[in-house]
Amino acid sequence: MTKLLVVATGNPGKLREMQAYLSDSGWELTLKPENLHIEETGDTFAANACLKASQVAKATGNWAIADDSGLQVDALNGAPGVYSARYGKTDAERIARLLRELGDEVHRQAQFVCAVAIARPDGAIALQSEGVCSGEILHAPRGHGGFGYDPIFYVPEKQMTFAEMTPELKRTISHRGKAFAALLPKLPNLEVTDC
Catalytic pick among 43, 68, 104, 122: 68
CA nearest neighbour of 45 among 139, 109, 112, 141? 112
**Residue 113, exposed/middle/buried by CB under 10 A (0-12, 13-18, 19+)?**
buried
CA nearest neighbour of 167 among 143, 182, 146, 141? 146
Judge contact between 130 and 112, C-beta under 8 A.
no
How far apart CA 45 and CA 59 sit, in angstroms, is: 21
* 122 a catalytic residue: no
Judge contact between 176 and 194, C-beta under 8 A.
no
How far apart CA 141 and CA 161 sit, in angstroms, is: 9
Judge contact between 180 and 192, C-beta under 8 A.
no
SS3 182: helix
How far apart CA 121 and CA 60 sit, in angstroms, is: 8
Catalytic site positions: 68
